[in-house]
Amino acid sequence: MTRAPNRPELTTSLTLRSQEQNWGTERRMALLAAIGTEGSISAAARKVGLSYKAAWDAVDTMNNLADSPLVERVTGGKRGGGATLTPRARELVDWYERIHHEHQRFMDVLARFGPEAPRNLELLQYMMVQTSARNRLLGTIRSIVRGEINDEITLETAEGLPIVALITHASTTALDLRKGRRALAFIKAPSVTLAQLGPDARLSARNQLRGTISRITGGDLQAEVGVDVAPNTRITATLGGEDLRAMALAEGQDITAVFKASDVLLGTLD
């Protein structure tokens, strides 16, 4: 018997915007709904898998961005207080659930477009990210090394480049970072330095990507240097004109793009 081909797996989340802010993410809406049923932020945080601090940060953000408060603290009572949703919040949760249902119907239709749908949708999603950082790299989290204050996150790009980021515990939790998850790495061009390193050279910076200078623009007061560190990956650095001339940089020259792990910002799309 011939088996029917599997449908492509499409997962998505629905995000709400308030003016220029993304605040109504699926997890935040789940937190609101849980506050409504549990009667406290701590219980709601446990139910949706957030820390108490992350839950309160999310509540503060939503209260600040909404046109009226969404969550109110309740003091006293038999349980010593808690939290309750305002009528505006209950209206929002109900509206979101109905929109989410229609959104899921759309995703079910989209899944019928064949096996290329997930790959094409992912590419379009990442291409639409707007940021001031000149360098944007998509990767998969390969490891998370937890420290006392900061976590060291290592991403691997599609071309096998390791990108190391150093971020706080709170950021790791807020972004729900975990091994195997896809994430974006952002590096500002001024944070990238260029070095002519020998085979035995040692630097303290965790990110050292060897490549070839593919283009140089500007040069009098400031120059932008593109370094091809893989066949389809270019890292851009911004240098002063004097530095460019002092290093005698030229297109086609081998060079190493260097940047600190603390200069790498991470982002996710849900």
Taken in order of first residue, the domains within the chain and their CATH numbers are: 16-112 (1.10.10.10), 132-185 (2.40.50.100), 189-263 (2.40.50.100)
CA dihedral 107, 112, 114, 116 (to 10 degrees): -10
H-assigned helices in the chain: 26-38, 41-48, 52-65, 87-110, 117-127, 169-174, 241-247
- What is the structure's pLDDT at 164? 96
Three-state SS at 143: strand
Cβ(94)–Cβ(52) below 8 Å: no
Is the CB of residue 185 less than 8 Å from the CB of residue 200?
no
Report, as ranges of residue numbers, the positions in the chain whose pLDDT lies below 50. 1-8, 10, 17-21, 77, 79-80
Between CA 196 and CA 177 the distance in angstroms is: 34
Residue 154, pLDDT score: 97
Residue 78 — φ and ψ, nearest 5°? Answer: -65, -35
Contact indicator for 134, 190 with CB cutoff of 8 Å: no
Is the entire prediction scored with pTM above 0.85?
no
Contact 134, 265 (CB under 8 A): no
Q: Tell me what pLDDT residue 61 has.
A: 80
The rounded distance, in Å, linking the Cα atoms of 85 and 36 is 6
Question: Do the beta carbons of residue 53 and residue 59 sit within 8 Å?
Answer: no
